Amino acid sequence: MRERVVVLGPPGAGKGTQCKLLAAARGLLHLSTGDLLRAEVDAESSLGQQVKAVVARGDLVSDDLVLAIVRNRLAIHREGWLLDGFPRNSTQAAMLDDLLADLGQPLRVALQLQVPEEELVARLLGRGRCDDSEVVVRRRLQIYARETEPINAHYQARELLKCVDGLGSVEDVATRIGNSLDEREHGEETIC
Ligand code: ADP
């Protein structure tokens, strides 16, 4: 069974950390849209040049541009994958549905990593990046709650949503995720 998984959750939930482990453990492609955008810029591709211009203006990269980057990667990768950081809003979720229908690569599960807000703030401040002041971190969490969290309902309605507790050691969370994906393969009931 091909693993085709969207990994959802607020900033700091551990998506990047867990996707790296899961990709290595199961031989999956880890598509992080943040990493992909940076890679396109570094490669000086035509998409990369557009991204660079948008970022230089201080604007957000458009849904269409991010979708084009995801499309490029998925179109040439027929094996399993993990999407990390995409979709980020309901427009992108609808775009991804259409793209996967086009490619004949149905999504198998949308995995939501759940971590309480105070722990997220502590983790993100602990990363020590200069742009991660508490005010900035709380604002990013608000944007997540407003724009990204509603996507959960989109996947729940399609019976694809699977919630995993993201508290505890990195290894414990990885084990929970692995168990959760395997459960799904055996067709057991999934509850969030
Ligand atoms: P995301 O991709 O969801 O924003 P990251 O994987 O970048 O999250 O993790 C955010 C921060 O939390 C990082 O500093 C990471 O080291 C830390 N972190 C990740 N998983 C855990 C965990 N299970 N317990 C404590 N800290 C964690």
User: What is the residue type of 107?
Assistant: L
Asked if the structure places residue 190 within a domain, the reply is no
* Ligand 1 first shell, C-beta below 6 A: 9, 11-17, 123, 126-127, 168-170, 173
Q: Whose CA is nearest to atom 19 of ligand 1?
A: 14
Asked if the structure places residue 19 within a domain, the reply is yes
Say how many CA atoms lie within 13 Å of 8 toward its Cβ. Answer: 27
60 labelled as ligand-binding?
Answer: yes
User: Given ligand 1 and candidates 17, 18, 125, 165, which is best to mutate, with the most ligand atoms within 8 Å of its CB?
Assistant: 17
61 labelled as ligand-binding?
Answer: yes
Spans in the chain with pLDDT lower than 50: none
Measured from the CA of 169, which atom of ligand 1 is nearest? Answer: 23
Asked if the structure places residue 136 within a domain, the reply is yes
Q: What is the pLDDT of residue 2?
A: 80
Measured from the CA of 32, which atom of ligand 1 is nearest? Answer: 2
Asked if the structure places residue 8 within a domain, the reply is yes
59 labelled as ligand-binding?
Answer: yes
Asked if the structure places residue 192 within a domain, the reply is no
Asked if the structure places residue 86 within a domain, the reply is yes
User: Given ligand 1 and candidates 123, 125, 127, 164, which is best to mutate, with the most ligand atoms within 8 Å of its CB?
Assistant: 123
Asked if the structure places residue 62 within a domain, the reply is yes
Q: What is the pLDDT of residue 164?
A: 97
Asked if the structure places residue 42 within a domain, the reply is yes
Give the end-to-end CA distance of the chain in Å, rounded to a whole number: 23
- Which pLDDT tens digit goes with each residue over 49-88? 999 998 788 777 899 999 998 998 998 887 899 999 999 9
How far apart (Å, rounded) are the C-alpha atoms in residues 80 and 171? 22
Closest CA to 33 of 45, 21, 46, 51: 51
Measured from the CA of 167, which atom of ligand 1 is nearest? Answer: 23
Instruction: Supply the CATH number for residue 96's domain.
Output: 3.40.50.300
Q: What is the pLDDT of residue 79?
A: 86
Measured from the CA of 85, which atom of ligand 1 is nearest? Answer: 2
User: What is the residue type of 139?
Assistant: R
Q: How many domains does the chain have?
A: 1
Contacts of 19 (CB under 8 A, 6+ apart): 7, 30, 32, 82, 84
Cα of 168 vs centre of ligand 1, distance in Å, is 11
Q: What is the pLDDT of residue 40?
A: 87
Residues of the domain holding 16: 4-185
Please report, to the nearest 10 degrees, the dihedral formed by the alpha carbons of residues 117, 122, 124, 126 taken in order. -170
Q: Are 112 and 192 in contact (CB under 8 A)?
A: yes
